[in-house]
Every structure is written in structure tokens, then in C-alpha cells.
Amino acid sequence: MALFKTILRWAAALLLLALAALALWLYAPDKPRTALEAAYPGEYRMVLGQRVRLRDTGPHAAPPLILLHGFGSSLDTWEPWAKALTGKYRVIRLDLPGFGLTGPDPTGTYSDERTLAVLAGLMDQLGLPRATFIGNSLGGRFAWEFAAAHPERVNRLVLISPDGFASPGFAYGKAPEVPLLLELMPWVGPRALIRANLAPAWAHPDALPDAVLERYRDMLLAPGVRRAILSRTRQTVLADPAARLRSISAPTLILWGEDDHMIPVRNAQDYLRLMPRARLVRLPGMGHVPFEESPDKALPPLERFLASEAP
């Protein structure tokens, strides 16, 4: 009996050690803002009470482009395209509220209406009555929602694997149920877990650069961002987008990677069916973030669209 009790005590101790080791592996505190701002440069503006990080490059008299990143990303995702486009265009990119170094919205509100209001307020501050919107995934949803809500302010629309229709876990008219394990998000951030979540965005996950993975992790560990992401998830209530998509009059280019494992290319038909001025360009061998995975190959159809006759 004494031996059995000893074995149980050793087993309990080993279990506690294993749990402690797992907790240490998973645990990741927020990174200091000063260090992140030094590593990832940007300009900051106060817009409707939200401190917004942005980059504004290119001639101010050139046609303006506003680039909106996807879920969990940041303005840095656009770096290759921003460098290529800055010669001919004024390229404006920002960390959306709740993400990156823009960080949490002090109002605690992450509705789409709040995000659109911040975008309109930023345009006002930058003196932009109109612009072309380019959005990826979640940013694609914000781009087309902005075009539907403010048609007078959108010249053209470029949607890259956009979000917006119901999907498993996201039904119309109600907030999604947040899994219990996701509640741990504010305290965890192992690279292996982040890589596993980022890999489906790439057609060739083995080619995902370590530097890109590290940037995504840094932006996830920016102060308050993980809690903000949870809040946005809880507050997301999708509405059937059909009427709003039909109302969009801006010429629209849809770019979609044929090897997108996050939002499949077949979903493009939903947009083409509803948007009278939209056309699709399929990108072979590319995934959810073609501007980051294969920027040189994905850029030509965008350049042709931007250079075509004015709407």
C-alpha cells in the first residue's frame, strides 16, 4: 500500500510538472508598445477617439488607394504592393481597430458600423472625398460594406478573398458562440500554434517565411489586441449581404487564389451573382493572401484594373 501511495504521489507530481511545462510553453504576455512601435514604423492619428496607426506614402496629388488587411493582420501585410504602387498612387494603409498597433478601441465597440465610421473619419482627416478601396478577407468585407454605405466616397473596389457571407459558426442575425478554449487567447501565443493557424492562408505553407510569422505574432501580442479580437468575435453579427452587394455601383475587381484554404474560390460566384459591375480574376497557385505570398505574380491584374478608364 505504501508503495502504491508513493507511485500515486509521483504520478501527481509528474502531472503537475507536465501541466506547468505546458502552461509555460503556451503563456505569452503582451509585448511592450514602445518596442513594437520602434520595430514597426507608422504615423498615428486620433480618429473618433481611436488612435490609428497608418502609413501614407506616394504623391498626395495622385489617385488615393486605401488598403484594408484581414483578421489578425496589420498594415505591414501590404508592404510589397505598397512599394510597387507608391510611384503612381497615394497608398494609405492602416491597422484596423482592434488589431496591430492601432490596438483596442477605447469605446469597446467592434461593430462593423463603428469600423466604417473610423474609416470615414480618417478619410476626412486626410482630406480625401473619394478613394479606391482594396480589402482582403475581413478587410474585404469592410471595403464592400463601405462602398454600400458611402457610394459617393468610393471610386473603385478591389476585393481579395472577401468575407461577408454566412459560414459554419457564423450564421446571420446572431453572434457566434465563442469556444471555451478561445477564452485562453489573451494569455497564449506559442509560435507553433500561430503558424498552424496562419498556414491555411498560404497555398504553400512550407514557404511561409519565419519573418512573416514573427510579425503576425508580434501584432497578436501587441497590448490588448488578443482581448480586442475576442470582443470583436463576440460582437460580430452578420446580416444577409445580398441587398447591399446589389446596391454597389463602383467598378469591382475580385481577386481570388485558387488554392485558398480559408475561403474557397467557389465563393466568388456569390459576389458575381449579386454585383453587376464585378469581374473575377482567379490566381492559380496562390492562397488567401496572394499580395503577401506571391506579390509580383498577383499584382498585374490589379495594375491593369487601376489603369483602366475611369468609371
Give residue-wise pLDDT tens across range 20-73.
Answer: 444 455 788 999 999 999 999 999 999 999 999 999 999 999 999 999 999 999
Calpha distance 70→292 (Å, rounded): 12
Give residue-wise pLDDT tens across range 230-261.
Answer: 999 999 999 999 999 999 999 999 999 999 99
Is the distance from CB of 160 to CB of 256 less than 8 angstroms? yes
Give residue-wise pLDDT tens across range 119-176.
Answer: 999 999 999 999 999 999 999 999 999 999 999 999 999 999 999 998 887 789 888 8
Region 171-194: what's the mean pLDDT? 83
Say which range, 82-91, 99-108, 187-196, has the weakest mean pLDDT: 187-196
The DSSP line for 140-168 is HHHHHHHHHH-GGGEEEEEEES---S-BT
The per-residue pLDDT for 309 is 64
Reported as a pLDDT band with limits 50, 70 and 90, residue 189 is confident
Q: Does domain 29-164+173-305 have CATH number 1.10.357.140?
A: no
Give residue-wise pLDDT tens across range 102-124.
Answer: 999 999 999 999 999 999 999 99
Within 13 Å, how many C-alpha atoms sit on residue 68's CB side? Answer: 31
The per-residue pLDDT for 90 is 98
